[in-house]
Amino acid sequence: MDGVIQLQRQLVDYTASLFHEGFLDEQFNQLQQLQDENNPDFVVEVVSLFFEDSERLLNELAKALEQQCVDFKRIDAHVHQLKGSSSSIGAQRVQKACIAFRNYCDEQNTEGCLKCLQQVKHEYSLVKTKLETLFKLQRRVLAAGGSIPKPI
């Protein structure tokens, strides 16, 4: 029993720290609320979809920026998508980086865009790692017989 409680506490602390450091925001809580008996893996599914989507978009972005003649419209559309996805799951820092990216797009500033792309990639990889750790912790708690506490 002790172990479960400890694991649970670890999970809660870790989740809290993610929120505290700004990786995740309120929207992630909403997602967790939607998870119930009918939909036990809702959050994991959504986040996996997010990972897939984002990686695809980031590749497209990198390709588009390497072009001779940069098509800022397409880049803007991709960044918009990425922004939407990240805000849907509550990946706050990614979303903010996307907003900055869009500004440079509007200015048609290739240099700035490249820099922002790097930033977004960086944030994305950070949040991906964090979320994967979080899910691992959750699996451990479940394996130990405890339940994932609902967000406060």
The answer to the question of residue 80 lying near other proteins (CB under 8 A) is yes
The answer to the question of residue 33 lying near other proteins (CB under 8 A) is yes
Residue type, 88: S
The answer to the question of residue 132 lying near other proteins (CB under 8 A) is no
Structure token pair of residue 120:
């977004």
The answer to whether 89 and 31 have CB atoms below 8 angstroms apart is yes
Distance of alpha carbon 23 from alpha carbon 17, whole angstroms: 9
User: How far is C-alpha 12 from the chain's CA centre?
Assistant: 18
- Closest CA relative to residue 89, chosen from 34, 13, 138, 140: 34
Residues binding other proteins: number (CB under 8 A): 29
The answer to the question of residue 103 lying near other proteins (CB under 8 A) is no
- Kindly tell me which residue out of 49, 129, 143, 145 binds other proteins, with binding defined by CB under 8 A: 49
For the chain, the maximum distance between any two Cα atoms, rounded to a whole number of angstroms, is 62
* Segment near other proteins (CB under 8 A); pick from 16-24, 34-42, 103-111, 135-143: 34-42
Residues at the contact surface with other proteins, assessed by CB under 8 A: 26-27, 30-31, 33-34, 36, 38-39, 42, 45-46, 49-50, 53, 80-81, 83-90, 149-152
